[in-house]
Chains A and B, each alone.
Chain A
């Protein structure tokens, strides 16, 4: 009986030890025969595929193996990073949203400071508007709430390097539908009013499939991609910033604000049926399938449309056109870094990880990734852009340049409250158009309340 008990005891102890060992084994560093191996997570499947392909080239040059995993969608990515941060299971490199997420993760101690690594030469490779992406500024620190992790950072710390870039507020029009409605398929509307007239023509031709598609299920898309560039062009930079200012002296309920909301709400008759039930990708797919004549997205949408069967030669692209009654008669979209690359605080391969970032943001690496993913890089590809990206995608870059006063910079968040949340104004904008539940004046008053509460939260 004693031996039975011993065997049982041995089995139980082995089980417990096995469980403990298995539980602790996840974060082990992979080092085989001195070969360095990096792990990287991204929230974009298309990027993971492209990165895994170019990783072979990187390995042949450096001997460093990189394995890239896509964790999608965004909420799953965030929760996985949260869990991994608690259990010590973070990879070596993360691709994160630029312009906020990278700074939050850096301030929270998940990403390393790369200030000493990204020198002037490195920065020069990047597009001018993406060079400072991922860098903490004093204004960000000052504007943050007193208990924000930003308060523990220092101005100048860099938590990511810009990886992909682009702009929102790019309109795609189906050339066939334009032609069917009697419009010139090669001439984009120059003003908001001409755009509305074009929508009237296409919906007049086909009321069901001639409208504008946009994924309003993600309610902030209409607000962020259409309203903001439109209002910026209508009011000019300073009066646009004043809409969001603390105290709302010239806020959304002011004549300025109400006028911009009124201009936006003129879209109401032209939304594609059911646009409030569509996600961003679903709206793009609906456009590619011919269920709408116009679609609003970003520079990144072109590749997605092509993947879904609508080739670039069949679409006319232009930025959200400015209203003829507004201050700015032209509009250009400053390219902003959409994603950035960061090195995690727990990596044991810092040098290799930095080398990987360096290579990916070099013209050679960025070009290779861009060619595979059809996504605009934050690296300036110069004369090679067209050969690497294709003529149509490279042509989108022409909307990046224009008079400085007419440039809409979506990356400029200096005038927002630090806890700015786009969902609440986005919901309200949907209630303005297409739902028509509130008038422009009511929407303005509600928006001021929302901004007021966000400012209050920063106190």
Chain B
């Protein structure tokens, strides 16, 4: 390889004959393109084409089968936002639910994972075992675990049984925690928090280990209590990581629909409907009606929301650094 490199270098200094590439050099040029072609093609098809096609589809009506699309301009966006008397209220309700989840999940994740990371960072014995235990939900999370949670939360599930056996029957839910409109969404939020805490804890742990231990010692010498160390030293230094955790939580909430689909399907009575679930439903559960364009438009609205939140997050990051 090195001889090839050395041999080629002088060639670069030679002046190219007018009229284009040397006939002797084009195979090399072609070789390069042949190697990068799969990657370029993959990006062109899976990236550029898909994005462009999705954007175009958001301005059309299509059921996924007809050879042609019916162009409707921005009507899909208008229908979603206010024009359609059925879709617009559905979007607002799903948006309100999504907003609640978007705020609650990152907030609770930070509130739980930061103290947990600090505690795990300070323990000396069984540190590895404890970290594994707390990381377990992330390893096992997914569709299967949502089904498991459903069994735990149903009327005769483990949580109701436990509450009744502890004499706390008044806290049990006769219709199950997912069957009661007032507990369904909070329950989904808690399951989402349960699955997001491990990664957040891991990020905080890595951040804690990067902090100079002398800072802690200095604070302790100055008489700072542990809560003051957490508030005045650790929290400011970990703020960039907090911003990342919040952004990840917001992103997951905006795009994730599996938990809503598997655990409640948006029910009971639409009380846990979310924007991503609505997009999924518009795509595949409309009896072949021409709603793929609406689904795409909703996807782009979510994308716009995600970009906006990313910009806000980037601004926050710049401010704290």
A residues sitting closer than 8 Å to B (CB atoms) are 1, 4-6, 8-9, 12-13, 15-16, 19, 75, 78-79, 81-82, 85, 100-101, 104-105, 107-110, 147-149, 208, 216-219, 273-277, 279, 419, 421, 423-424, 427-428, 430-431, 434-435, 437, 449-450, 452-454, 456-457
B111 → chain A closest CB, angstroms: 28
* CB <8 Å contact, B179 and A273: yes
Interface of B is mostly: loop
Known: A16-B37, A109-B67. A453 touches B84 (CB 8 A): yes
Nearest A residue to B178, CB-CB: A277
For window 1-41 of chain B, which residues contact chain A by CB distance below 8 Å? 3-4, 7, 27-28, 30-31, 34-35, 37-38
Tell me, in angstroms, the Cα distance from A277 to B272 when the chains sit together: 12
Q: Which of B176, B264, B268 contacts A273 (CB 8 A)?
A: B176
Distance between Cα atoms of A107 and B290 in the complex (Å):
12
Kindly list the 6 A-B residue pairs having the minimum CB-CB distance in the complex, ordered from nearest: A12-B34, A108-B65, A276-B268, A82-B64, A104-B288, A273-B155
Question: Which of B27, B86, B154, B288 interacts with A274 by CB under 8 Å?
Answer: B154
- B 264-289 binary contact with A (CB < 8 Å = 1; else 0): 11011110000000000101111111
B97 within 8 A of A: no
A421-B287 in contact given A1-B4, A82-B65, A109-B65 (Cβ < 8 Å): yes
B206 interface residue (CB < 8 Å to A): no
Told that A78-B64, A431-B270 touch, could you supply 19 new A-B pairs with CB distance under 8 A? A1-B4, A9-B27, A9-B31, A12-B31, A13-B34, A105-B65, A105-B288, A108-B63, A108-B288, A110-B65, A147-B290, A148-B290, A219-B270, A277-B179, A279-B265, A427-B270, A435-B181, A450-B86, A454-B86
Query: B33: nearest residue on chain A (CB-CB)?
Result: A12
In the complex, the chain A residue whose C-beta lies closest to that of B34 is: A12
In the complex, A424 Cα to B89 Cα: how many Å?
11
Asked whether B156 is an interface residue with its Cβ less than 8 Å from the other chain, the reply is yes
Min C-beta distance of B30 to chain A, whole Å? 6
13 pairs of residues in contact across A and B, judged by CB atoms under 8 Å: A12-B31, A12-B34, A16-B34, A16-B37, A75-B284, A78-B64, A100-B288, A104-B288, A217-B265, A276-B175, A277-B150, A277-B176, A430-B267
B35 touches A437 (CB 8 A): no
Question: Which chain A residues lie closer than 8 Å to B286 at the CB level?
Answer: 421
Contact A437 B269 (CB under 8 A): yes
The answer to whether the Cβ of B70 comes within 8 Å of any Cβ in the partner chain is yes
Q: A12-B34, A105-B288, A453-B85 are in contact. Are A435 and B67 (CB under 8 A)?
A: no
Contact partners of B73 in chain A: CB under 8 A: none
Contact B66 A108 (CB under 8 A): yes
Tell me if B174 is interfacial: C-beta within 8 Å of chain A. yes
User: What's the minimum C-beta distance from B162 to chain A, rounded to whole angstroms?
Assistant: 17
Size bracket, chain B contacts: 35 or more
Instruction: State whether A275 touches B65 (Cβ < 8 A).
Output: no
A421-B64 contact given A273-B176, A274-B176, CB 8 Å threshold: no
Q: What chain A residues lie within 8 Å of B156 (beta carbons)?
A: 208, 273
Q: Does B251 sit within 8 A of A, measured CB to CB?
A: no
Q: How far is the CA of A217 from the CA of B28 in the complex (A)?
A: 61
In the complex, which residues 101-122 of chain B have their Cβ closer than 8 Å to any Cβ of chain A?
A: none
What's the nearest-Cβ distance from chain B to residue A144, in Å?
11
Could you tell me the distance in whole angstroms from the C-beta of B1 to the nearest C-beta in chain A?
A: 10
List B contacts of A148 (CB < 8 A).
290
Which residues of B from 60 to 91 have beta carbons under 8 Å from A?
61, 63-67, 70, 84-86, 90
> Complex Cα distance A402/B278, Å?
41
> Which of A105, A148, A450 is packed against the most chain B CB atoms within 10 Å?
A148
Of A4, A6, A423, the residue contacting B285 (CB under 8 A) is A423
